[in-house]
Chains A and B, each alone.
Chain A
């Protein structure tokens, strides 16, 4: 299986051979320091700044759950669902250093009963869907200390 990010430039996969853990790639304004995800490329979101230059930065790998929910019904395309459909959780996660909240799916095997607002979670990279021998990857949140299996095989089960 080839492993390819489902979208370019939004996160590192940890597959670069350096042994570094995966991380979201955001931007930090070189003028005012404002963070953004996905990375800002044109114009700083701070209306009093006006900068057009940004550094690409890896965002905090851990955060706390701001809120969470799940998707009991299969989302419509362009979501590529496994067949049969397996419900999944989503979490909005607060990153303390960047003071922003980032959404993402929660790893397979976790249900809403396993989650609480304020819980610590960490970023992992997992298969979003597989097509023609390629695994398309995306970031997901995994409860810290969770033992659930988040292998790509389970997504496709």
Chain B
């Protein structure tokens, strides 16, 4: 890889708690994942010099200080700590914080943990009372705009602009359901047919119940180390997986694609100069592009991708946004089988959110766990043969980009 060693960190351990819906304390899921990740790395809790938590905002105060919550649960050791919230991108920002500590030489070994316990049904605004300065509260109050509302807008626009069909969207679900069948961490492990998808209830036209990701409980963790530490500790026993770039970009003004939880886009009325191109495309394409630029590689080098399929149709948007194909070509890529296991560049070999549902602060970390196992060649039953380079892509509301580039 062309990314120089001084920008790489090693992933020595990856661990997850199965996704599901049990309603137990989120700390349980995070601890199980953390212990698995440390065992996977062959390291113990006392070896962790830095704990980077991804916060959950639906589980009270312990969720807002997740790094310390996990550290206390494992037993205080004096490790330094960070707790971050960036909506769906929280996990990637937690990874970015740990990586920065390592690259700055402030620590050699860091534990990254995210876990969530979620309520049933639509995500609603967090906290009570009238909050007329909070766009997330207001969009529910003034428009009844749920998260699937925005997914529906994107899906309909794809149909209108590119001729995508409801069957295309259903095929994404069919593919991901098949991918997740053998994944022991997936919540839903059941094949579905196009007919079953298309006969499930409409939620936000043109998206149906089976095409919109559920909300889940789950936990994921990583042990990240400096390259020097990894070489000393691991001794080349198995392929060393590295994180070569982490993108946590925000949008570029003017962001002309409507996004949760906003009422409107930026205005492009006065735009000229370098932002004009990005304005046309919106925020999402910039997310992985920043990771590619940092690592000095491109989408043509990818063996696989884990993207944030909040809806079946959104996965198709991501194909274009991460550069797998040109604008309007995602349906063809899907129909040709390129993104299915065995194809040119499988997308969501884990089964994606389609099989997991969303455990917000754990999800971006889980994407990286999957890439680690794929690059090691240990993703039994859903392995991408000969995988060498993987990318994750994700977006958190309020303008959080998240993309992690890994290689072996």
Chain A residues at the B interface, C-beta cutoff of 8 Å: 6-7, 32-38, 45-47, 66-73, 75-81, 88, 90, 92, 97-105, 112, 116-118, 128, 138
> Chain A contact residues: over half helix, strand or loop, or mixed?
loop
The reply to whether B203 and A73 form a contact with Cβ atoms under 8 Å apart is yes
Nearest-neighbour CB distance to chain A for B270, whole angstroms, equals 5
Q: Give the distance to chain A from B263, nearest Cβ to Cβ, in Å.
A: 6
- Bound-state Cα–Cα, A71 to B146, Å: 8
Selected A-B contacts with CB under 8 Å, 18 pairs: A34-B254, A34-B267, A38-B263, A45-B267, A67-B157, A69-B153, A69-B206, A70-B152, A71-B144, A72-B203, A76-B121, A76-B124, A78-B137, A80-B141, A99-B254, A103-B139, A116-B160, A117-B161
Cross-chain contact of A7 among B138, B156, B268 (Cβ < 8 A): B138
B122 and A76 contacting across the interface, CB-CB below 8 Å: yes
Cα of A128 to Cα of B141 in the assembled complex, Å? 9
Interchain CA distance A98-B125 in the complex, whole Å:
30
CB distance from B79 to the nearest CB of A (A): 37
Secondary structure type dominating chain B contacts: loop
Please report the C-alpha to C-alpha distance between residue A49 and residue B330 in the assembled complex, in whole angstroms.
Answer: 37
Give the residue name and chain of the B residue nearest to A68 (CB).
B156
Assess whether B137 is in contact with A66, with CB atoms less than 8 Å apart: no
Smallest CB gap from B266: residue in A: A45
Interchain nearest-CB distance for B149 vs A (Å): 6
Known: A66-B157, A69-B205, A72-B204. A79 touches B144 (CB 8 A): yes
Give every chain B residue within 8 A of A80 (Cβ-Cβ).
141
Question: B237 contacts the other chain (Cβ, under 8 Å)?
Answer: no
When distances are taken between beta carbons in the complex, the residues of chain A under 8 Å from B145 are 71, 75, 90, 103
Q: Which of B143, B202, B203 contacts A104 (CB 8 A)?
A: B143
A81: nearest chain-B partner, CB-CB: B144
Q: Number of A-B pairs whose CB atoms are under 8 Å? A: 140
Which A residues touch B262, using CB under 8 A? 103
Residue B76 at the A interface, CB < 8 A? Answer: no
One digit per residue, 1 when the CB lies within 8 angstroms of any chain A CB and 0 when it does not, for chain B 92-130 equals: 000000000000000000000000000001101100001
Instruction: Give the contacting residue for B201; candidates A38, A45, A72, A112; CB below 8 A.
Output: A72
Residues of B near A71 (CB, < 8 A) are: 144-146, 149, 204
Contact mask B316-357 → A, CB, 8 Å, 1/0?
A: 000000000000000000000000000000000000000000
Q: Which residues of A contact B266 (CB under 8 A)?
A: 34, 36, 45, 100
In the complex, what residues of B have CB within 8 A of residue A36's CB?
A: 264, 266-267
* Given A37-B263, A90-B143, residue A69 in contact with residue B253 (CB < 8 A): no
Residues of A within 8 A of B152 (CB): 69-70, 90
| B265 and A101 contacting across the interface, CB-CB below 8 Å | yes
